[in-house]
Amino acid sequence: MKNNKALLLTISAGLCVFTTANAEEQNEHLTPNDHSFIYLDELIIKEDLIDGGILSKETIKKEEIVRKQSRISDTAKLLEDTSGISLQAGGGVSSIPVMRGLNDNRIKIDVNGMTVNSICPNHMNPPLANIDRSNIGSITVIKGITPVSMGGDSIAGTISVESPEPEFSEPGEALLITGRVSSFYRSNGDSYGGTIAAGLANENLRFDYTGSHTQSNNYEDGTGSNIKSTNYKNQNHAASLAMKFDSHLLEIKGGQQHIPFEGFPTARMDMTNNDSIFGNVHYQGFFDWGNLDGKLYIGRTNHTMNFGSDRDAPEPMPMKTRGKHHGFNLQAEIPFQQDDTFRFGSEFHSSKIKDYWPPTSLLPSMMGPETFINLNNAIRDRFGAFAEWERFWTDEWRTMLGLRYDHTTTDTGDAEPYNNITDDFEQAAAFNSLNHERNFSTFDVTALVQYTPNHWGSYSLGYARKNRAPSLHELYPWSTSPMPMTMIGWFGDGNGYVGNIDLRPETAHNIALTAEFIDHEQETWRLKISPYFSYVEDYIDADLCEECRQPTNGFFYLRMANHDAWLWGVDVTGTLKLSEDPSYGEFSTQTVMSYVRGRRTDGDNLYHMMPFNLKWSLNHKLGGWQSSFEMQFVDEKDDVQEIRNELRTSSYILLNAKTSYQWKFITVDVGLDNILDKQYFHPLSGVYIGDQNAMTLNSSRPKTTNLPGQGRSVYVGLTLSY
What would the pLDDT profile of 593-647 be if each residue is shown by its tens digit? 999 999 999 999 999 999 999 999 999 999 999 999 999 999 999 999 999 999 9
In which band, very low, low, confident or very high, does the pLDDT at 247 lie, cut at 50, 70 and 90? very high
pLDDT tens string 70-108 = 999 999 999 999 999 999 998 999 999 999 999 989 999
Give the pLDDT score at 22.
Answer: 35
Mean pLDDT of the chain: 91
What SS3 string covers 562-583?
Answer: EEEEEEEEEEEEEEEEEEEECC
C-alpha–C-alpha distance, residues 368 and 315, integer Å:
14
Q: Coil, helix or strand for 475?
A: helix
C-alpha–C-alpha distance, residues 444 and 534, integer Å:
15
pLDDT tens string 267-295 = 999 999 999 999 999 999 999 999 999 99
- Give me the helices (H) in 336-486, please: 423-432, 472-475, 482-486
Give the pLDDT score at 225.
Answer: 98
Tell me how crowded residue 348 is: count the other CB atoms within 10 A of its CB. 16
- Number of folded domains in the chain? 1
Give the pLDDT score at 56.
Answer: 63
Distances (CA, A) of 707 to 86, 250, 306: 16, 46, 20
pLDDT top residue among 567 and 338: 567
pLDDT top residue among 292 and 116: 292
pLDDT top residue among 313 and 627: 627
pLDDT tens string 386-444 = 999 999 999 999 999 999 999 999 999 999 999 999 899 999 999 999 999 999 999 99
DSSP 166-220: P--PPTTPPPEEEEEEEEEEETTTTEEEEEEEEEEE-SSEEEEEEEEEEEE---B
Supply the DSSP symbol for 149. Answer: G
Distances (CA, A) of 97 to 194, 265, 444, 494, 610: 25, 17, 23, 19, 12
pLDDT tens string 499-519 = 999 999 999 999 999 999 999
**550 pLDDT above the threshold of 60:** yes
Tell me how crowded residue 298 is: count the other CB atoms within 10 A of its CB. 17
E strand residue ranges, 582-698:
585-600, 613-622, 625-634, 652-663, 666-673
CATH of the domain at 626: 2.40.170.20
In which band, very low, low, confident or very high, does the pLDDT at 196 lie, cut at 50, 70 and 90? very high
C-alpha–C-alpha distance, residues 281 and 293, integer Å:
11
Supply the DSSP symbol for 649. Answer: B
Residue 688 C-beta-side C-alpha neighbours within 13 Å: 19
SS3 content of the chain, % helix, strand, coil (to 5): 10, 50, 40
Q: Which of 193, 267, 191, 257 is closest to 229 using CA atoms?
A: 267
The sign of the dihedral angle between the CA atoms of 515, 105, 79, 606 is positive
pLDDT tens string 10-59 = 334 343 433 333 333 333 333 333 333 222 232 222 233 334 445 668 89
**7 pLDDT above the threshold of 90:** no
Q: Can you name the residues that pair with 441 across neighbouring β-strands?
A: 407
In which band, very low, low, confident or very high, does the pLDDT at 522 lie, cut at 50, 70 and 90? confident
pLDDT tens string 121-179 = 999 999 999 999 999 999 999 998 999 999 889 899 999 999 999 999 999 899 999 99
Give the pLDDT score at 43.
Answer: 28
Average pLDDT score over residue span 197-226: 98
| Structural domain boundaries enclosing 594 | 2-721
DSSP 299-358: EEEEEEEE--GGG--SS---EEEEEEEEEEEEEEEEEETTTEEEEEEEEEEEEEEEEEE-
Give the pLDDT score at 20.
Answer: 35
Give the pLDDT score at 55.
Answer: 63
Give the pLDDT score at 238.
Answer: 98
Instruction: Provide CB contacts within 8 A for 655, sequence distance 6+.
Output: 629, 630, 631, 632, 674, 675, 676
